[in-house]
Amino acid sequence: MLDRPLSLTDFLTDGSVAALCDAVSRLTGTRISVRDAEARRIFRVSDSPRPDARPWRLAPHDPADDDLTLAIATAIDRDRLIPVGHRLLCPLFVGDHPIGAVIVEREGEESSPGPPEPSPALLDTVRLLVSTISEVCESQNELRARHT
C-alpha cells in the first residue's frame, strides 16, 4: 500500500501512453501531453542508456503549470474538459481520485487568451484516450488490491 495519493506514474510501464499522445499530436497538429498528478509532463525515452531503465521520464515541475496542478487536484468530473488558461485539461481518475491528466493545447497557443477550440473529432479522440487510460489504471489498481 502506498503512503501517498496515487499518481499516473504508479501505473506506467513502457511509456506507450506518452508515445500515443505524441502520435496523436503529430496526426492532428495539436499538442497533446500526458501529465502526472503534479502536472509534470511524462515523455517517452526511446534510447535509454541502461536496459533496465524505465522507458519514460518526468519533466521537472514548471511553476507555470501550477494552475494545472490545482485543476488536477480539484477535478471531480471525469467527463468534463476543464479550461485552464490557454489549455484544456482532461482529468484521469482511479475511483474518485484524480491521478493525472491529458492536456490539449496548440503549438504557439501560449500567447492567446482562452483555451484552444479543438475539432469535435479531436475532442472525441481525447475523451476516448482519457477513458482508456483511466480504465486500464483502474483495472491495475483493482488487481493490486486483490493481491495485497
What is 76-140 written as a DSSP string? --TT-PEEETTEEEEEEEETTEEEEEEEEEETTGGGSSS-----HHHHHHHHHHHHHHHHHHHHH
Q: Which of 18-22, 60-64, 116-120, 132-136 has the lowest mean pLDDT?
A: 116-120
CA distances from 95 to 99, 108, 136 (A): 10, 35, 12
CB atoms within 10 A of CB 121: 9
Percent of the chain with pLDDT strictly greater than 90: 56
pLDDT computed for residue 119 by the predictor: 86
User: Among all chains, which residue has been given the C-alpha cell 501531453?
Assistant: 33
All 3 cell numbers of residue 41?
A: 509532463
- List, for residues 45-74, the tens digit of each pLDDT value: 876 566 667 888 999 999 999 999 999 999
Q: Is 70 left (phi over 0), alpha (psi -120 to 50) or beta?
A: alpha
**Under a CB-based contact definition with an 8 Å cutoff, are residues 10 and 17 in contact?**
no
Question: For residue 104, what pLDDT band results from cuts at 50, 70 and 90?
Answer: very high
pLDDT computed for residue 20 by the predictor: 92
Rounded CA-CA distance 116/62 in Å is 21
pLDDT computed for residue 42 by the predictor: 95
Question: For residue 108, what pLDDT band results from cuts at 50, 70 and 90?
Answer: low
- Which amino acid does the sequence have at 136? V
pLDDT computed for residue 111 by the predictor: 58
The pTM assigned to this predicted structure is 0.87
Question: For residue 33, what pLDDT band results from cuts at 50, 70 and 90?
Answer: very high
3-class SS shares of the chain: helix, strand, coil, % to 5: 40, 25, 40
Rounded CA-CA distance 60/62 in Å is 6
